[in-house]
């Protein structure tokens, strides 16, 4: 039975409801009248239901698809402007007791070296990340209560926040660790984390169970209900994701929108972000074994339809994607990207064997400076802003800012000020020159005069050592 308000995974992600949607969308993918109706509703920019979103995803009428892409671009522009938030992953440990079939850290992989960073090694990694210019990290860890207990994660977060190297500081630590208890989520909240991220991998229970044959992660309900527990523990920014390539994309697309709807209806606040990772080659893992891979065209359509379905949710694309693929989805809805990423434990400082513990091959291997430079040439403003969460603008407070479109008087100046800090402290001469001109131009687009003047004044003072002013 489908029940959006149920705390039970099998009811808020009802298989029966998803299958009914799959059949409905298949039947209506050429239904111009219905597609027009859905687009009409979508143009109000308040979202559409999972069922309606799937009809748009399945639609193969060329002119309607053009309208879908145009609307996704418009929503992106309206809510998020041209800002792109930057972050990097930091792998703490690849010890893992789970049996995930697609991940090289699975417990049965006996040839991958196991590594867990000491606090001193974390320090070195964070200094390397700060020297690149990063301010926002997503920490990653395998699940292993003996080697990586929650206390280790908490201690690591404390270490990360404590490191102030030159003008560097990590101002927001997002956390991507296994599903846990309400008590543990409350401890993560207490430690000052930003977003709690957990990918569902797939919403199809049968497929989920086959892909996770052993370990705590094999419990579908416990995993799927994790975000409800996280919110109960006080974390109000949560990040969803599915790993495209594992299961039928239509099923998982519908599932992730239903999950977002459930959180909004049941917990009063939808997900802060949705990630759209695609399966990559890795040690012991051949993505071709999984026959659900999706093309770049389909990937772009998924991003556009998520943007339309949940306009208030940020979207994240990692370096799993190529430069070309990232470029394509940036204006369709993506608001955060990683840059200069290493997906191995100790990858930012391990000069000798940096690839030994790699989780998957990254496609975009450019440095952070190259990514920032590229973004600006495309007309985007790379942002290193972390203000919202530090000002307490999380959960529904952030959502109301976004919904009232006041973000332009808040996020835009913050983005420009943090970009200026980046240019001053870390950028190459070419990136700096492009960025200085961009900042002057973008300052003029801030509607509120007082905010504009204050931001300009602060930006002018950055080279004299001023840091970390925020709206």
List residues binding ligand SAM (CB under 6 A).
Answer: 102-103, 140, 142-143, 176-178, 198-199, 201, 217, 243, 277, 279-280, 282, 285, 320, 359-360
Q: How far is the CB of 273 from ligand SAM (least distance, A)?
A: 14
CA distances from 428 to 83, 253, 339, 357 (A): 20, 40, 15, 30
Q: How far is the CB of 341 from ligand SAM (least distance, A)?
A: 12
Q: How far is the CB of 227 from ligand SAM (least distance, A)?
A: 12
C-alpha span between 108 and 91 (Å, rounded) = 20
Closer residue to ligand SAM, CB minimum distance, 9 or 279 = 279
C-alpha span between 356 and 375 (Å, rounded) = 30
C-alpha span between 355 and 365 (Å, rounded) = 13
What is the sign of the dihedral through the CA atoms of 345, 349, 350 and 354?
positive
What is the sign of the dihedral through the CA atoms of 165, 338, 384 and 420?
positive
Q: How far is the CB of 282 from ligand SAM (least distance, A)?
A: 4
C-alpha span between 216 and 180 (Å, rounded) = 10
Q: How far is the CB of 230 from ligand SAM (least distance, A)?
A: 13
Q: Where are the beta strands (DSSP E) in 63-220?
A: 83-93, 136-141, 172-176, 196-197
Closer residue to ligand SAM, CB minimum distance, 142 or 382 = 142
Which residue is it, tokens 């990514």?
371
Q: Are the CB atoms for 202 and 292 separated by under 8 Å?
A: no
Closer residue to ligand SAM, CB minimum distance, 277 or 346 = 277
Q: How far is the CB of 103 from ligand SAM (least distance, A)?
A: 4
Q: How far is the CB of 18 from ligand SAM (least distance, A)?
A: 20
Closer residue to ligand SAM, CB minimum distance, 320 or 452 = 320
Closer residue to ligand SAM, CB minimum distance, 133 or 271 = 271
Closer residue to ligand SAM, CB minimum distance, 144 or 424 = 144
C-alpha span between 208 and 242 (Å, rounded) = 11
In three-state secondary structure terms, 105 is coil
Closer residue to ligand SAM, CB minimum distance, 262 or 280 = 280
């Amino acid at each position: 039975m489908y029940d959006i308000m149920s705390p039970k995974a099998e009811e808020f992600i009802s298989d029966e409801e998803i299958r009914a949607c799959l059949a409905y969308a298949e039947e209506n993918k050429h239904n111009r009248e219905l597609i027009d109706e859905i687009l009409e509703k979508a143009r109000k920019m308040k979202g559409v239901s999972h069922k309606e979103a799937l009809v748009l995803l399945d639609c193969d009428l060329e002119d309607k698809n053009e309208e879908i892409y145009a609307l996704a671009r418009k929503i992106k522009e309206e809510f998020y402007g041209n800002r792109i938030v930057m972050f990097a992953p930091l792998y703490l440990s690849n010890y893992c007791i789970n049996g995930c079939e697609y991940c090289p850290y699975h417990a049965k992989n006996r040839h991958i070296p196991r590594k867990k960073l000491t606090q001193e090694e974390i320090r070195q990694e964070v200094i390397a990340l700060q020297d690149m210019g990063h301010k926002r990290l997503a920490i990653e860890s395998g699940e292993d209560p003996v080697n990586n207990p929650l206390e280790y994660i908490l201690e690591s977060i404390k270490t990360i926040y404590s490191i102030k190297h030159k003008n560097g500081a990590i101002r927001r630590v997002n956390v991507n660790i296994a599903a846990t208890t309400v008590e543990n989520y409350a401890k993560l909240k207490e430690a000052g984390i930003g977003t709690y991220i957990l990918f569902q991998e797939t919403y199809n229970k049968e497929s989920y169970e086959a892909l996770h044959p052993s370990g705590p992660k094999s419990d579908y309900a416990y995993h799927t209900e994790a975000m409800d527990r996280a919110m109960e523990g006080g974390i109000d920014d949560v990040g969803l994701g599915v790993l495209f390539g594992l299961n039928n994309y239509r099923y998982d697309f519908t599932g992730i929108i239903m999950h977002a709807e459930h959180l909004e209806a049941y917990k009063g606040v939808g997900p802060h972000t949705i990630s759209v990772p695609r399966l990559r080659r890795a040690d012991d893992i051949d993505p071709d074994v999984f026959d659900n891979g999706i093309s770049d065209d389909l990937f772009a359509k998924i991003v556009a339809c998520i943007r339309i379905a949940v306009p208030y949710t940020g979207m994240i694309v990692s370096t799993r994607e190529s430069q070309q693929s990232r470029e394509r989805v940036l204006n369709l809805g993506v608001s955060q990207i990683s840059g200069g990423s290493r997906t191995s434990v100790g990858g930012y400082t391990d000069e000798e064997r940096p690839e030994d513990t790699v989780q998957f091959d990254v496609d975009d291997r450019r440095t952070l400076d190259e990514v920032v430079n590229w973004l600006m040439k495309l007309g985007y403003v790379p942002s290193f802003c972390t203000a919202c969460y530090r000002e307490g603008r999380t959960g529904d407070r952030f959502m109301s800012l976004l919904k009232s479109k006041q973000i332009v008087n808040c996020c835009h100046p913050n983005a420009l000020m943090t970009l200026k800090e980046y240019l001053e402290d870390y950028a190459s001469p070419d990136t700096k020159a492009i960025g200085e001109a961009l900042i002057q131009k973008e300052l003029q687009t801030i509607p509120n005069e007082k905010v504009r003047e204050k931001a300009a004044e602060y930006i002018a003072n950055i080279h004299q050592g001023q840091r970390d002013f925020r709206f």
